[in-house]
Each structure stands twice: as C-alpha cells, then as structure tokens.
A and B are shown apart, each in its own frame.
Chain A
Amino acid sequence: MSDAVLETRGLYKAYGPRTVISDMNISLPAGKIIGLLGPNGCGKTTLIKLAAGILTPTDGEILVCGRQPDEVTRSFVSYLPERTYLSGRMTARSAVDYFSDFYADFDSSRAHSMMAHLGVDPDAKLKTLSKGTKEKLQLILVMSRAARLYLLDEPIGGVDPAAREYILRTIISNYAENSTVLISTHLISDIETVLDDFLFMRSGGIVMQSSVDGAREKYGKSIDELFREVYRC
C-alpha cells in the first residue's frame, strides 16, 4: 500500500449538491499503464484533476506517492489535460525552455528530437500550428519528463487515427519500469492493447478493476466488448 503511486481513501468530491466522485478507494501500483475508462461525465477528469492538485477533495484523501498533492508532488507528476494550455504566442522552442526551466526531470534533447521527427518548426508561434500538431506537441512535452506518474486526460479523443497511433506509440516507447501512466478515455478499443490494467468508472465510483489479460481470460471478450456490456443502458 505504501508504495502505491496513486491512492484514494474515501475520496469524495462534490460541487454543491452535485456529487461527482463518491467514496472512492483505489490503489495504483508503479510500473503500469492503467486505463481509466468510462463514459463522458462519469468523473474521470475530476479524478485526474484531483491527482494533479488543481482540485481539492470535498472529503477523504488522495495521495500521490504517499503525499497529498502539493508543489512537491507536482515536480514528479506530469499532467496532460484535455486542453491546449500553452499560450499561442509561445513557440515550440520557448515551450521546451519553459518546461526545462521548471522541471528538473525534463529532457529537452528528447523533446527536440521528437519535435523534429514530427516536422514541427521550433520557432513558429503555436497559434500558427494546427490543432492536431499542438496536441502532439503537448504530449511530447509531457512525455519528455521522467515523471513517476503521468496523468493523460483523453489524449486520443478528437484526434485523427494517424495521430492516435503516434500518441499510443509515444506512450509505449516512453514506458519506464518505475513510472505509472494513467490514461483516461472513452475510446477503449484503441487503447486496450497498450494497457496493463484498467478501471471502469461510473457515476463517481469504480465498478470494475482488473488487468486487461485477466479480464480477457475471465470473460473471453475484449475490454471494449466488456465495456459495452457493463455500460449497456
């Protein structure tokens, strides 16, 4: 338990009368790529934001490597939100410099070579780049850190299939044994081959947690098919 990278105990998050996460108790180990799966609006993004430290729990606890999210956890947690969070006036190069400045675990040569591979002009302003390129650039920045926990919120939604493949391959090739990647998505068939474990989330709680291979053996179906069954209206 104490070496869990992400842990929640009785986690509860509500906005006024609306409960988004209720009584969640999970423990995610190191060295795994884990899928946080569920339909839109079930609380996946909220859980990730709580882990990233930009939301605070209403009740209960969330711990990242045993600490409540603070400036120390932020130095080893790499977060990719669903949005473009870089200023349009920045260039790719200045974004790399910015990350390099603040994050000791950032590898700028790796970032630059991935960008070159993508054909991104390092000195072009970000607002001149296409949406797909910006998303890939953000992924490159996030994955160029040697973090202990990567939080990827819907990294492949709203992106064309070629970009999806690029993103999945980047995640795979970045895999390190002592780090954990938590990917939240509703596009399950694309991602399930990349996952070690998965969690099904619904209405603010976890309804299933298993390894991908274990579930395939047990139920004889892909996680995508299993998902459709579990979530059938």
Chain B
Amino acid sequence: MEFVWHIDGTAPLYIQLADDIRLAIIQGRLMPGARIASVRDLAFDAKVNPNTMQRALTELEREGLIETHGTAGRFVAVNEEVLKSIKDRVIDDLVSDFIKRMEALDCDREEAVRRINERKGEE
C-alpha cells in the first residue's frame, strides 16, 4: 500500500495530506477496516512534520472516515454509508470544479455534456 502525496503551496499542508488519504480510501486503495500506519511512518513517507500529519488524521477522524480503536491503532471506517457519502461529496466537488472550469472557457453545460458523450468508447 503506497500513498501518492500531492503537496503544493495552494492550501495548508494538513488539508492536502487529508485529501490524499481520503482519495486512497474512496478509490479502494485502502480497504474498509484496513489498518493505517502510524503518524510517524506516514510522516516519514510523505516527508512532512508528524504534527502536520497528525492534524490531517484528526481531520479525517472528524469526518468519520477513520476510527481510532484504543491502543490498537487507526483503522479505515467500515460504515458503508459514511464511505459512500464521502465518496459522493468528493465526486460532487469534482463535478462542480469541472463545470466551473468549463464555464470559464465559455463552454456551457450542454456543450460539456455533449463533449463527454462524444468521448464514450474512444478510450
């Protein structure tokens, strides 16, 4: 299980790290109920400050995506509803972002949908 870390200057680090972990979970790279590595190991892997990584994990705990089981460690949530709602939210954000960008290029929704349908089967 390897994480892909996307870090740039546009947002606070802990938010970007949380995004990357969230993506890994909803993409299924990190399975429901799977154990998550320790803060130190994650920080080491991402080359970030452990405090920052801790804040990212706390954020995900707040969302309900991750659970702490006492001293056993941190695990991905198994609650299907939670996972689904978060996946929906991420997809919604993607769609909003896409629409915004297309409109910035003078491409309205119908145009956007048309272009998407044209694509089917090509790739």
Task: Consider the complex of A and B and state whether they touch directly, i.e. have CB atoms less than 8 Å apart.
Answer: yes
Q: Which residues of chain A have a CB within 8 Å of any CB of chain B?
A: 31-33, 165, 168-169, 172-173, 175, 193-196, 212-214, 216-217, 220-225
Which of B10, B47, B50 is in CB contact (< 8 Å) with A175? B50
Q: A193 and B50 in contact (CB under 8 A), knowing A169-B44, A222-B9, A224-B9?
A: no
Cβ–Cβ contact B11 & A32, under 8 A: no
Given A169-B47, A193-B47, A194-B47: A213 and B8 interface contact (C-beta under 8 Å): no
Q: How far is the CA of A24 from the CA of B14 in the complex (A)?
A: 31
* Contact, CB under 8 Å: B46 / A193: yes
9 contacts between A and B (CB under 8 A): A32-B51, A169-B44, A172-B48, A212-B12, A213-B12, A213-B55, A216-B12, A222-B8, A224-B9
Nearest A residue to B48 via CB reads A193
Binding site for A on B (CB under 8 A): 7-14, 40, 43-44, 46-52, 55
Known: A193-B49, A213-B14, A220-B10. 11 other contacts (CB 8 A): A172-B44, A172-B48, A173-B44, A196-B51, A213-B13, A216-B11, A217-B11, A221-B10, A222-B9, A222-B10, A225-B9
Residues of A within 8 Å of B43, CB to CB, are 172, 175
- A221 adjacent to B9 (CB under 8 Å): yes
Known A193-B13, A216-B9, A225-B9; judge A165-B51 contact (CB<8 A). no
Contact B52 A193 (CB under 8 A): yes
Q: Are B44 and A213 in contact (CB under 8 A)?
A: no
**Closest-CB distance, B56 to chain A (whole angstroms):** 10
- Min CB distance, A174 to chain B, in Å? 10
Q: Which 6 A-B pairs have the closest CB atoms?
A: A222-B9, A213-B12, A193-B48, A216-B12, A217-B12, A221-B9
A173 CB → nearest B CB, Å? 5
A220-B10, A222-B9 are contacts. A213–B52 as well, Cβ < 8 Å?
yes
Asked, given contacts A169-B44, A213-B55, whether A175 binds B12 with beta carbons under 8 Å apart, the answer is: no
- Chain A residue with minimal CB distance to B9? A222
Q: How far is the CA of A31 from the CA of B49 in the complex (A)?
A: 11
Alpha-carbon separation in the docked complex, A216 to B14 (Å) = 10
User: How far does the alpha carbon of A224 sit from the alpha carbon of B13 in the complex, in Å?
Assistant: 13
A223 to B52, CA, bound (A): 15
Question: Which residues of B are found within 8 Å of A31, using beta-carbon distances?
Answer: 51
Q: How many angstroms from the CA of A53 to the CA of B49 in the assembled complex?
A: 28
Name B14's closest neighbour in chain A (CB-CB): A213
Cβ contact within 8 Å between A173 and B9: no
Which residues of the other chain, B, contact A169 by a CB distance below 8 angstroms? 44, 47
Contact partner of B49 (CB less than 8 A), chosen from A195, A214, A221, A224, is: A195
Q: Give the Cβ gap from B13 to chain A, nearest Cβ, in Å.
A: 6
Q: How far is the CB of B52 from chain A (nearest CB, A)?
A: 7
Residues of B within 8 A of A223 (CB): 9
Q: Which residue of B lies closest to A215 (CB)?
A: B12
- CA gap between A32 and B55 in the complex, in Å: 14
Asked whether A196 lies within 8 Å of B49 as measured between CB atoms, the reply is yes
A193: B residues at CB distance < 8 A: 7, 13, 46-49, 52
Which residues of the partner chain A approach B8 to less than 8 Å between Cβ atoms?
A: 222
Determine whether the beta carbon of B49 is less than 8 Å from that of A33: yes
